[in-house]
Chains A and B, each alone.
Chain A
Amino acid sequence: MKLTPLFVGAMTLALVGSASAQTLTIATVNNGDMIRMQGLSSAFTEETGIQLNWVVLEENTLRQNVTTDIATNGGQYDIMTIGTYEAPIWAKQNWLKPLDALSADAEYDVDDLLPAIRGGLSVDGKLYAAPFYGESSFIMYRKDLMEKAGLTMPDAPTWEFIGEAARAMTDRANDINGICLRGKAGWGENMAFLTAMSNSFGARWFDESWKPQFDQPEWKSTLDTYLSLMADAGPAGASSNGFNENLTLFQQGKCGMWIDATVAASFVTNPNDSTVADKVGFAQAPDNGLGKRGNWLWAWSLAIPASSQNADAAEQFINWATSKDYLALVAEKEGWANVPPGTRTSLYENPDYQAAAPFAAMTLASIDSADPTHPTVKPVPYVGVQFVAIPEFAGIGTNVGQLFSAALAGQMSADDALAQAQEATTRDMTRAGYIK
């Protein structure tokens, strides 16, 4: 038979193939820190022989993709990159494997994780996702413009001061806007900012019986303050600005202040990208004297879906990627300023990091001050600072985000937006069975 050698060859190949090392499929988000990890991951493959197959997606696409995969038990991925919103919801649905081996590993030192972040990723004390980097939000401002306006930024300003400073710094003739804030619709875009802001005004999404609260005066004053601030001191076309658009504006020197994610600090102080790198100061997110600040809490984290066939190898990779050694590896190759921030206490105690990152102390203070279980002044039935950790929130939040974005664009009044938000949210919450 002439075909026999071919057949034997094919069989051998098949056997070799199945005997070779495991392959992990990892879904992750396309931001700088993740792409850096992808680049450095060859070290992990060399060490363990485990092959890695990367699926790198933009944030919204990633969310849709992994949500569909995990909800339909698709089993495409061994590791998923998820946030503090998904982790507790999915853990409760038994869609994620608890990271028990990781938590038990003394070298990994799970107690070193920042308590606020660790709490957000745990259910009943069990860790379900390991934080890759964590963030809160704070104010980034231009020291030179602040000085020119004759003002001094306190470490913990009020909204009143922010309003005054933003209007004083605005210089339309020179294309300088006093403040840049998110306006693009989406639960992770404008609603992340507005929900966090509303906390400092004492507003809440739902009362204890899950009734939406957009008809309350706290939301009205939040939205009015936001809209008048943006009308007087915001950039043109603000209702399409998300994180990236505002980052560009700030780096080009067109914003006096910007309230957004703490990870942006390393981008605006990087002289390669930013024209204002040496003029940036930092302050905590503003408050209204009610005891809560308008800062959020978020951590991109790695988790293993319950459907994964390679759970052990996956946990090994998560251990590598979120360990102290990984931070040291990044520091060695790219410098301390580029280390993924906001996950470990030891990083903030490291003098090398403190020297390389002038924003370190303010970042840590912001993360520590966010409390997902008591996000706002009044009691709430939900967990989450800038989101509500229920499965329906992604849809509801995006819907409300659309309405608030329309109010910012001048397509409807604040009162109309709030009334419609109240109506739409009540409708969705009734459908989901929260309101009986």
Chain B
Amino acid sequence: MATKQTRALARTMMAPAVIVLFIWMIVPLVMTLWFSFQNYSLINPMMTGFAGWANYVYVIGDPSFTQSLINTLILVGGVLLITIVGGTFLALLLDQPIWGQGILRILVISPFFVMPPVAALIWKNGFMHPGYGMLGHLWKFFGLQPVDWFNQYPLFSVIVIVAWQWLPFATLILLTALQSLSEEQREAAEMDGANAVNRFRYIIMPHMARAITIVILIQTIFLLGIFAEIRVTTGGGPGYASTNIAFLVFRTGILSNDIGAGSAGGVVAVIIANIVAIFLMRAVGKNLDA
């Protein structure tokens, strides 16, 4: 039992770290909030003073705002679907005792180490380009018209690239979960006559549920802010077809040099992220309590 003195001491000792972390978080947030209520444009020094809600009205009234919001959700949902299903499948395969397991696992994990803009460029020029991409050649080989991925299916193409990058992460987490499943349990089920499907449904899935929750939560946090892949490949287009909230904020704040509206967009993005997080925690967070 900690005495009153030790508790007080502990608090004092922890205070500097807590204060630094607090400042680290609060200063940028307050500045963003402050800018979001100011008329502040880099390229137009005439625009100054308190703006009221004008910046928020401007950002939310953007013709592409609704579509960006929907795109953000499709992007997050699509990538989650591919990585969870694919990751589970890959984890099950990698869990089998096979020759060259170590090398194989490293190969499977390696896309995660490729920096996002680099991965996007490889996909853009190496695979999806209709003129000199691998997929274009493949299509031509079968006598088909090459697909212009980024113009015909912009959002789908971005989802594929991001999913490729995050699949290793899901696989890795799910694989470690699988490996912690005791061998005896599986053998017992097998001896009781449970087939592969039933073993997966009643033994493996419940065991992995918690790991899947972790994957969903962590990936959602990162996927809400996907930017580099969009910037490098489609630039948010054609039209607004692949613009998500993060890219909209970039377009307003950086491309148009409108810091006020950009900050308002940032605040809106934070609010949206929190709403998504609350729903997610409600929906899947229960798994973590057990």
Contact = CB atoms under 8 A, between A and B. Distances in A.
A93 interface: yes
A123 B152 CA distance: 45
A411 B236 CA distance: 13
Given A237-B151, A391-B44, A395-B256, A402 B239 contact: yes
Interface residues of B, number: 30
Given A67-B43, A71-B42, A391-B43, A406 B257 contact: no
Nearest to A72: B42
Given A185-B237, A411-B238, A411-B241, A427 B61 contact: yes
A110 interface: no
Contacts of B42: 67-68, 71-72
Contacts of A333: none
Contacts of B148: 236-237, 240, 409
Nearest to A95: B45
B58 to A, nearest CB: 6
B131 interface: yes
A412 interface: yes
Contacts of A239: 151, 237-238
Interface string A193-212: 00000000000000000000
A411 B63 contact: no
A237 B43 contact: no
Interface in A372-425: 391-392, 394-396, 398-399, 402-403, 405-406, 408-412, 417, 420, 423-424
Interface residues of A, number: 38
A417 B238 CA distance: 11
A436 interface: no
Contacts of A423: 63
A186 B234 CA distance: 12
A350 interface: no
Contacts of A403: 239
Contacts of B45: 71, 93
A69 to B, nearest CB: 10
14 contacts: A64-B254, A68-B42, A68-B257, A71-B43, A72-B42, A89-B43, A185-B235, A236-B130, A237-B148, A239-B238, A394-B256, A395-B256, A402-B239, A427-B58
Interface of A: 64, 67-68, 71-72, 89, 93, 185-186, 236-237, 239-240, 391-392, 394-396, 398-399, 402-403, 405-406, 408-412, 417, 420, 423-424, 427-428, 431-433
